[in-house]
Structures are given as structure tokens and as C-alpha cells.
Amino acid sequence: MSWSRRAVLAASASALGVLAAAGPTRRRRLIVVLADGGWDVSYVFDPKPGLATVEGPEVDRDPGDRGDVEALQTFSGLTVQVNEARRPAVSAFFEAWAHRCAVVNGIFVGSIGHHLARVRMLTGIASSHPGPDLAQIVGASHASGVAVGCVDLSGFSSPGPLAATSIGVGARSQLASLLDPAAPIPRPAGLPSERSWIPDAADLDALTSYHHDRLALLPPGPGAADLGVALERAEALRDRSDTLTSILQPGRAPTLPGQIDLAVALLAEELCHTVFLDTAEGWDTHSDTVSQHGLFDRTFTQLDRLVRGLRSASLLDDTLVVVLSEMTRAPVRNVQGGKDHWPHTSALLIGGGTVGGQVLGHTDPWLQALPIDLQTGLPDPGGVRLDHASFLAGLLERLDVDPGAWIPGVQPWRGAC
């Protein structure tokens, strides 16, 4: 899809308010957490015990381990699959936070390719050419009063035409070197040490002058507006960069705990409006479905860290956390003992006005999405199948963004509100 000039200019106009005071109404913040690779929803969110059509986590049970017991458990009205021996962090998380969570099952993605499915789940657009994703759109739409709209700590976020309102830390925390003049830019392995360069104040002044000279030469239009916004935001971010540089270590990939602590700090200090995270786990288990136990256990350990951090910073009520994966695993195992791709998925919503204790959406005995009422999120034979576009449109609407500007002609899903 090619983005309309109106949509791009609208986002740019919103972004130009970087130095303006925030309005009287506090918009909901957003944190997106991506489980890239395709999680197996039957392990937690969409259990199918006793069905011959779905080989859930019970098929991996160790008969010699009496503690290895799969069970359905209900927390504050929300029923999930648990295993105290292999996934204790899952039950611990929902014991503490189910009243702030809603599970959404049966989101139809319509693709089994990682790239296309990821684009669809993050942007709502059925295209292989990524435009701006949920975090970028919301960040740009509510960028007034913050240094940048969206901070990408994962490397998976796609800014599209909204790059002027966002930043990425880089795969090895390169951003810290750009923000701190005293920090050396890490050298590639094998490069002689004398090639290392640390910019001094004169270098930075020269670069700033060069960019402002470029801006003066550009004709009026979107390009000039974007460059002007980017320069304003870069200067604002550099003036308030202590939070970023105190946690990021140049030359090292950000860990998930580090990403979480940084995300909470960035929102608490109003440096940005949205943050994009990645679980940093290998969910694409074509040959080892048993590893999904550990993947879920480690991920929910860190989700607990995130929610506790938001609560401690008094951010949980007005920050929506969306945890999702671009697809799920097939209902049955393949000959290698793993599971292949399946074009349906689930999402976990936490905080930010979520009506907790709910499981919304529905799937059949083959883990395929069934019709629901888009207004309530509840199963409805006369309804429609929840797809990625309606799901994302509903999240945009909930976050005070007009979904029609980004996903035209789509009826928003309004569950969990």
C-alpha cells in the first residue's frame, strides 16, 4: 500500500509539536512486545486439552516426572494452560496480573511467511511492503511534549514515512555513541585501534550546521518538514539523553531485562510516547516444540518485571501493553518433533484500560479463527472472523488514533475495553 499524502502530512504536523506543552488530556501510552517467530498458543492462551486434532503441551509430558502436569487454571475469570514444573512463571504471572489482562484468541493473519505475517500483525496492512506499525503510528500521533514519538529497542519496528518522529537503539546499542560525545563508536572486529574516532564538540557543531544548511536549501514540502522535525527531536533527545546512555552499553545488544527497564524509564520521564520491544527468544520451533516451555517461562518472567515496573512508576493505568506474535504453530507436530507455521495467532493485552479477566475471540478444534462480534469480542456465529486489520484498527481507536487514516475501510475490533 502507498501511504496517502494526507496521512503522512497529518503525522508530520502532529510531530512538529515537539517543543509544545502536552495537552490537558493524557493519552494512553503503548508498549508493544513482539514474540518473533511464532509462538504455540496451545501452551498458554488457547488450550485444547483432550482433542486429537491438536497436539498441545501434554504430548511433551515426561511420564517419569510426577510434577510434569498440564492443567487448565482460571485466574480472575481468565482461563489458561499451566504447568507448574515447566512453565511456573506463567501461572505466577496470571496469579498476580490476570485482573489487568485480556487474552485475544483467533486472530487470522492469512499468511505463513514470517515477513508478511509480521507486517500484517504489526501494521494491519496486507502488504509485503511495511508501512508504519502500531507503535510508530501511535507515537507520531501523540508526539507533542516528548522528545520522540516512538523508541524501537527491538530492531523490528517499521517507521515507514514516520521516521522523523522515532529512533532505534541499534542492534548493538549504537545510539548511545551518537548521544554521548565521550562514548567511542565501537569498531568492527579486526579494525586497528587507531581507526577509532570520538567526535568532539567542534565535530558535532559542524554536523549540526551542515544539517541546518541542508534544511535551508530544501523547497517547502514533506521532505523539509521531516528534516526539520528530525533535527528538533535529535536536539531535544540529546539534551535529555542520560536515561538512554546510562542503560545502553555501546557494542552490546540490549537484553530483554535491559529493554524493559529502559522502556519504563523512557515513559516515566516522558522522553517518548511508545516503545517497541522484542522477547529476544527463538520461537520458530520447527524441530523442537518442547522448547516452547522454556520460551514461555522466560518471557512471562520478564513480562512480570515489565508490569511491576509500570506499576511502581504509576504508569500501568494509562499504558497499554500489547504482547503478540506474527503467527502460531500448527496443531500437530511434524516428523522432526516440531511444529510448522499456522496462520492464526493470539495476543495478550495488559493494563491501559483493559477490562481484565477475559478471554476473547474463539478458535475451532483445528486452531482456526471462528466468527465473533467485533463490538464485544465474544463468539458469535453470525459475526465475522477477527483478522489482523480489525484487531490493529481497534487498538488504534483505543489509543485515540483515527484508524481510517492508516487502515482504511476496516471495521475496528472493540473488545477488552
Q: One digit per residue, pLDDT tens: the chain, 417 residues?
A: 444 433 443 444 444 433 333 344 568 999 999 999 999 999 999 999 999 999 999 988 877 787 899 999 999 999 999 999 999 999 999 999 999 999 999 999 999 999 999 999 999 998 877 789 999 999 999 998 898 999 999 989 999 999 889 988 887 777 777 777 666 666 666 666 555 566 677 877 887 788 778 777 778 777 667 767 777 777 777 777 788 777 777 777 778 898 999 999 999 999 999 999 999 999 999 999 999 999 999 999 999 999 999 999 999 999 999 999 999 999 999 999 999 999 999 999 999 999 999 999 999 999 999 999 999 999 999 999 999 999 999 999 999 999 999 999 999 999 887
The C-alpha cell at 58 is: 501434554
Cβ 103 vs Cβ 78: under 8 Å? yes
Q: Give the residue carrying C-alpha cell 499456522.
A: 342
Cβ 324 vs Cβ 121: under 8 Å? yes
Provide the pLDDT for residue 90.
98
Report the SS3 class of residue 52.
Answer: coil
**Per-residue CA distances from 202 to 190, 245, 254, 294 (Å):** 29, 21, 30, 50
Cβ 279 vs Cβ 256: under 8 Å? yes
Q: Report strand pairing: 319-324 vs 344-350.
A: antiparallel
Provide the pLDDT for residue 69.
94
| The CATH classification of domain 29-180+241-405, taken from the options 3.40.720, 2.60.60, 3.30.420, 1.20.950 | 3.40.720
Interhelix angle 5-15/222-239, rounded to 10 degrees, is 30
- Round to whole Å and give the CA distance between 72 and 70: 7
pTM greater than 0.85: yes
Maximum separation of any 2 CA atoms in the chain, in Å:
74
Report the SS3 class of residue 123.
Answer: helix
- Round to whole Å and give the CA distance between 176 and 180: 6
Provide the pLDDT for residue 239.
77
Closest listed residue to residue 42, CA positions, set 89, 80, 98: 80
**Per-residue CA distances from 226 to 10, 138, 152, 239, 357 (Å):** 12, 17, 18, 20, 43
Provide the pLDDT for residue 188.
61
Cβ 113 vs Cβ 381: under 8 Å? no
N- to C-terminal Cα separation, the chain: 29
